[in-house]
Structure 1
């Protein structure tokens, strides 16, 4: 682990291994030269096993939200009907982006903390038979829920007379949770470097299916920087249409080497093991998980704040006294839950530290002790 006194366990950005930090800090090189082309080629090839696809990835300079926007504007035209599956902050953000660019969005709302039922999606499509695209979040970072994309995609494909483009936000899942893009018949999958990929923020990675490329050829939403055609043509030459975040690409190269050496299946198993450990530990502390346990995420766990504890004071005490940095709740959940990120460069010892710090901070909070004011 990087030598630091902080155990960073927000749901992204996530800790970066020392070797990855060093790779990203190498001297600058020409992003149009052969050295960068070789790095780019290695990165694009290294992403493929984690997306579960035979397609080649696109590398964009931007955030996960940028990838959401890129997915929307490259697949849709103004006025297209979209079914947006939303049960959290990031599902709603995906829907709002589509609306901002002129899509006619039908929202399928779910209760926050629960997964979307495939039959509910099928019913919504029967209600909206002209649906052009379905957008959904694989792993809802705001609630700690992992949707069953395989089952949802199968329900979508099972509707006669309709063949929508399926866009999946895998920002906090791909690279840590099994994702089989081709087998599930997903058309656009997106992720970001700062989550499961053990790298700094700044890169978005996208894969597009054959159906997706056909939709892209017909899409008329305005785009320039995010244009997938530009990204694809340049990617084939192992370059980018605009100046890339060279240092982050080099960091991702090293991170992918580490992930491939461990092996994709071993990476997934490690995340499942760590996910079980944090959930068991949270319950053992007498705390309540926010997400439906049957669909609990293996990358982020949302925990209800006890009624006799102040959330902001608890998080401050964890940070200042124990060096543990957790995420707060978002939107209407602020103050009522906290979130533990456990994706990317994470092992059992990291979450054991979180659990022990939580035990101590909760004991102090219930005794009414003031947290220390020293800052890390």
Structure 2
């Protein structure tokens, strides 16, 4: 792999998963009321798997059905049609494959590229690095266009690199980087790619953004995007989602990387019959069907506004605890927030203490292990869970000698959320 020049630089209690009263929820979170979680024993605030609504949990326990029958075909059609409408495409095919999000990333690569193809990977963190690793493993000629961890990619710098380099067959982008809590300016990055010599394919890892953050596949010229059931879609892990546009299908006809299980053409042939080529994770699909239905009922603009407002609340609350957030305000994700650990605070004991109170957050990855913590807020989430999590975190920080006003942070979380919702929904 080569590194491209010109990349942008940066730089309480066991029931803490629930809000105190139903009336409080009704008063401050009108859009999320139909899909709010019931009381549970932990407040799961990792970037995924995410909490799932009780109705989804119940749906996943339904009796098994014939995956070659009409009932399954109807479910498959509802899920794929719903996902397509939520991400703004009328041109692409939505394929559902049993596997993880990383499997979907591999599928995107092997179905559109051949060994030796020049590929530019725009990486801003651990999952951009994973995209590059997969492409290299299958023989692509990979160049990495890197931003410092904690910063988004710069569209102008990307355009400059693309204009001066030999044409690439594809550019791989990360929509939302969960390892750093950064969202890329995807629309502008895609425009830079389309203006480049050779008009490379735009292939997007949308795993932790799709369904929660604004995304317009057709309008932005995204050729292929992948996601996974356990993120904003409010399902359990197990379903890889690939949305394949016309230019990606054309590329697939010429692609020569080896594939069998992940063959998009085979998946599309079976999808036309209302089936999948291999035995699917039927129970996960039961839940995903309901998750997609709930998001369609909420309305995608409302979902985007809810996630943006909850992110604003979480970020204000963490800052009120005296924590420094990793990303600059303009780069911050709406689905996961990363904060630096205070000097002298050891992650292991601190994490164990929070877990003992029912609060589950994620630590750092790769070079940032033991340096940051990551706070997930996507899918089935309301401000009550977030405010409670901030409060428990503040109480735990105080126990470890880091002065934090948990009550003030709780107030800041709710106030920032309410202000953001007031702007989004007059």
Matched, 1:199 2:252: no
- Residue of structure 1 aligned with 2:385, choices 325, 350, 366: 350
CA contact (8 A) 2:93 2:245 kept: no
Matched, 1:219 2:255: yes
How many residue pairs are counted as aligned between the two chains?
366
Q: In the alignment, what sits opposite 2:112?
A: 75
CA contact (8 A) 1:132 1:164 kept: yes
Matched, 1:12 2:54: no
Q: Which moved more, 1:74-83 or 1:304-313?
A: 304-313
- Residue of structure 1 aligned with 2:264, choices 228, 234, 248: 228
- Residue of structure 2 aligned with 1:148, choices 182, 185, 201: 185
Q: Deviations over 1:154-180 (max 9, x none)?
A: 111122x32101110000000000111
- Residue of structure 2 aligned with 1:181, choices 217, 222, 230: 217
Matched, 1:274 2:310: yes
Q: In the alignment, what sits opposite 1:34?
A: 70
Equivalents in 2 of 1:144, 1:173: separation in Å?
11
Structure 1 segment 60-139 matched on structure 2, within 5 A? 60-139=97-176
TM-score normalised to structure 1 length: 0.96
Q: Deviations over 1:50-98 (max 9, x none)?
A: 2211123111111010000000000100000000111210000000000
Query: How well do the aligned residues superpose, as a CA RMSD in angstroms?
Result: 1.1
Give the secondary structure class of the aligned counterpart of 1:75.
coil
Kindly state the Cα deviation for residue 264 of structure 1 after the two structures are TM-superposed.
1.1
Q: Deviations over 1:117-161 (max 9, x none)?
A: 0122112213332210000100001000000110001111122x3
Q: Deviations over 1:34-56 (max 9, x none)?
A: 11111111111111122211123
CA contact (8 A) 1:40 1:238 kept: yes
Q: In the alignment, what sits opposite 2:22?
A: none
Q: In the alignment, what sits opposite 1:292?
A: 328
Equivalents in 2 of 1:118, 1:328: separation in Å?
29
Equivalents in 2 of 1:38, 1:51: separation in Å?
20
Give the secondary structure class of the aligned counterpart of 2:398.
helix
Kindly state the Cα deviation for residue 2 of structure 1 after the two structures are TM-superposed.
4.3
Give the secondary structure class of the aligned counterpart of 1:301.
strand
Structure 1, gaps ≥5 residues long: 369-376
TM-score normalised to structure 2 length: 0.84
Equivalents in 1 of 2:93, 2:264: separation in Å?
12
Q: Deviations over 1:214-267 (max 9, x none)?
A: 111110000000000011111121110100000001110111111111111111
Equivalents in 2 of 1:64, 1:362: separation in Å?
33
CA contact (8 A) 1:308 1:366 kept: no
Give the secondary structure class of the aligned counterpart of 2:107.
helix
